Chains A and B, each alone.
Chain A
Amino acid sequence: MAASAKLLALCTAAVGAVYAAGYVYTQPSAEASGVSSHGSLGGNPSSSPSPSSSPAPSSSGSAPSSSASASSPTASKVTYRDGTYTGSGSNVYGTLSVKLTIAGGKITSVKITSYNMHYPSSFIYPQIANEVIQMQTYRVYNITGATASSYNFAEAVYYALQKAKA
């Protein structure tokens, strides 16, 4: 297809072009500007190791949104201390926790450490719950669909970031 030849060429070459330009993986701990005590293997400087440290379990989402409205729209003036921090969130459908890593003052990764939530389909689409065609889902590990939002995690990330604030 002549019309798509250039697009195909660009998409095929993109990964190679990024590496050719010098992209290299650097260990997050190496970036951490001289802070040696918070290695990626488990330094947990200020937060309690228990994921149950999150208050207000039933108010999922309210805390993050109120903080957002207070924050400045321009670049992050908030500074974070390097290290790893945990946060949890929950509502009546379950609980979840994240582990957030700060290196060089930046959020370098937010890992989901537990996720146990289930929204019944009748809650989301009551009109269709009974008409759903049952399909064999054995070995279906991945599902393609419209991009899911990470909204469920907002509360957990909020508490982890609160701990990271300098």
Chain B
Amino acid sequence: MQKQIAQERTTLVESFLLMGTVVSIRLVGEGSVADMRDSIDRAIHAMRSTEEACSRFDAASSLRDLCRRPGEWVAVPAALFQALSIAREMAELTGGVFDPTVGRALELQGFNRHYLTGDESDSQVPDAGASWHDIELNPDGMQVRLATPMLLDLGAVAKGLAVDLAAHELGSWPGFSIDAGGDVFVAGSDPEGAIWRVGIEHPLAPDSLLAQLELTNMAICTSGNYKRRSAENEAVHHLWDPSQNHSAEGLKSCTVVAPQAVLADVVSTAAFVLGPKRALSFIEEMDLAGVVVHEDMTVQMTKSMGGYIRE
């Protein structure tokens, strides 16, 4: 029965470079392939728009424009306003261990190169000791005021939001998956008409899997330190702990399952930066499912994660 359904369906896979990584969309559809392609174009456009608003690496982005105007109320695009609202809330929830004002610190550690043009960014923002408290948000007219000069980094939020916007564009098809360099959203059914299977990468051997999940209409995001390293200093990675002024230590990866990619992304990043003692309990406090891999390869998971693991 299922096989017959599957045969009437077409699966289209297209991959793009976006937000410094490879984004692959797999769309399961019935009917016109041209319509399917059009949907993928819309999804990619939504992600590209989010990138144009929120990129720290592109001097022409709305984020960089905002950072050039400290002290002023600035009307910003909706995607940037939403990403900032979520990032600020997470900063408050973690008491500032997660903080979106770490952009300058990351830039100075060599995380400064645009992935398409190769241009190195130098925002030249003075180190004025800014923190998330200095981000003021006014939902009326979506205005933002940065009370202190700072370079924002929305890496933990903007990609998730972009995936959610792309998912919205694909929502009317029988099934799709979006893989944004490790941030995954799956919906409906897979190309064979079954529930999606998503692997969790093994931090020590990226060709193999730590576990397999079965789920749909859910996002799965992993924050890990085992791929992106600073060109300046190999000991430095991109998950920054502002309280220590150093990249976060003690964990290899945190994986979180949530109904929205932006939620999974920001919680997995925050859990990673919170460190080995607090990561798992933090994911549980957020009422989400997750897996935490420690530096010594000890694996912990929330009780709720068991429901997704394929034995």
Contact = CB atoms under 8 A, between A and B. Distances in A.
A71 B117 contact: yes
A106 B201 CA distance: 35
Contacts of A75: 59-60
A143 B209 contact: yes
B118 A154 contact: yes
Nearest to A129: B205
Contacts of B204: 125, 128
A130 to B, nearest CB: 10
Given A64-B118, A68-B118, A76-B117, A132 B255 contact: no
A1 B82 contact: no
B228 interface: yes
Nearest to A148: B181
A124 B201 CA distance: 14
Given A14-B161, A141-B26, A110 B89 contact: no
A72 B119 CA distance: 7
A166 interface: no
Main secondary structure of the interface of B (DSSP, over half): mixed
Given A11-B86, A15-B164, A65-B118, A98 B17 contact: yes
B177 A157 contact: no
B118 A4 contact: no
B304 interface: no
Interface string B246-273: 0000000101001110110010000000
A161 interface: yes
Given A18-B82, A111-B14, A145 B89 contact: no
Given A11-B260, A148-B22, A148-B181, A142 B186 contact: yes
A72 B121 CA distance: 9
Contacts of A22: 78
Contact of B60 (A14, A64, A76, A144): A76
A11 to B, nearest CB: 4
A147 B212 contact: no
Contacts of B203: 145-146
A108 B14 CA distance: 15
Given A69-B120, A71-B119, 14 more contacts: A7-B90, A8-B287, A14-B82, A71-B120, A108-B45, A141-B26, A143-B179, A143-B209, A144-B198, A144-B199, A144-B255, A145-B201, A146-B222, A158-B118
Interface of B: 14-18, 20-22, 24, 26, 41-42, 44-46, 48-49, 59-60, 77-79, 81-83, 85-86, 89-90, 93, 113, 115-122, 142, 159, 161, 164-165, 167-169, 177, 179, 181-184, 186, 190-192, 194, 196-209, 212, 220-228, 253, 255, 258-260, 262-263, 266, 285-287
